A = this chain, B = another copy of it.
Amino acid sequence: MTMKLKETPHKKNETALLTMVQAINDGMKTMLESDETTIILGEDIGRNGGVFRATEGLQAQFGEDRVVDTPLSESGIIGTSVGLAINGFKPIAEMQFMGFIYPAYDQIMTHVSRIRMKTMGRFSVPMVIRAPYGAGIRAPEVHSDSAEALFTHMPGIKVVCPSNPYDAKGLLIAAIEDPDPVLFLEPMRNYRSSRQEIPVEKYTIKIGNGMKLRQGEDVTIIAWGAMIPVAEKAADQAEEKGISCDVIDLRTLYPMDRDIIAESVKKTGRAVVIHEAHATSGLGNDIVSVINDTSFLYLKAPIERVTGFDVPVPFFALEEHYLPTPKRVLAGIEKTVKF
């Protein structure tokens, strides 16, 4: 279909002080303006602007045809998005919480991720599935899941998870422009926890590249999304004890930046992996494998994993016990150092 480009001109280097959820809103706005084929679908994303206000104001600006309140039907949202995507549109589908993506799991597993493969590229599904994830906001049951590993185990879809406003906008725009489906995970706890000066103009961050947040010598800490502040705090406390840490924000969970991990672990010889998903079959195990495959001879101690426990995310009175804390991470750091 025709693609009228009507970029709103921004002064170069102009920036705005935004929270992550505002940056995500800005990223969608940017693409709705620049690409007529983008269309947002989801529950309560229109008038209401989404339960987290991520789509605030977008329906008013772009109309009900491009910012669509759908029925309460996740499989319907993803299934119809597949049809829109193979026929010229770029759907951005919002799952209200990651815990509610499961009804759409079949559509994502058997179609979204496989259509390019099963048509040798004749059809493709350039779509983004946005999902707020994680515990720590005193939400009801099932609202706090962290299920990235269910999608990194699904060839054909990329999985991205920013930890700050700048990365959120740049990665979201990259995801929308990606020719393949991308699951875009948004750490609810970071939505408003901090602000950042970010460019008003359109920019992208390459999917697949991690980011070194700080340089250290003794231990490599690997985390993403909502666990980044936890990693930083733990690293601070470690510094006080004279342990200096490399802190890596993976940013993309699939395809994973193995080089940034290997490069760091070859230097430090020790690694602590943090995620809030369950330990068993969590992505932390993949990182252990990456290190096993790339840095075996450099390892001075077993790799430590500090993760959510192998229990369902508990009701919120106990969620702080479920989540990795700086204290638990620090214990892991010291364990590797004292090994």
Contact = CB atoms under 8 A, between A and B. Distances in A.
A211 interface: no
Interface stretch (A24-32, A102-110, A214-222): A102-110
A102 B103 CA distance: 9
Number of copies: 2
Interface in A258-292: 277-278, 280-286, 288-289, 292
A289 B305 contact: yes
A17 interface: no
A118 B102 contact: no
Given A114-B312, A153-B149, A286 B281 contact: yes
Interface string A34-53: 00000000000000000000
A239 interface: no
Nearest to A107: B102
Interface in A168-218: none
Contact of A153 (B103, B105, B278): B278
Contacts of A278: 153, 155
Contacts of A105: 102, 105-106
Contacts of A292: 288, 292, 302-303
Given A102-B106, A102-B110, A296-B301, 10 more contacts: A114-B141, A117-B311, A118-B312, A118-B315, A147-B153, A149-B149, A153-B280, A155-B309, A281-B283, A292-B302
25 contacts: A102-B106, A102-B110, A105-B106, A114-B312, A117-B311, A117-B312, A117-B314, A118-B312, A118-B315, A147-B153, A149-B153, A153-B282, A155-B278, A155-B309, A256-B280, A280-B286, A281-B285, A284-B289, A285-B285, A285-B288, A288-B288, A288-B292, A289-B305, A292-B303, A296-B299
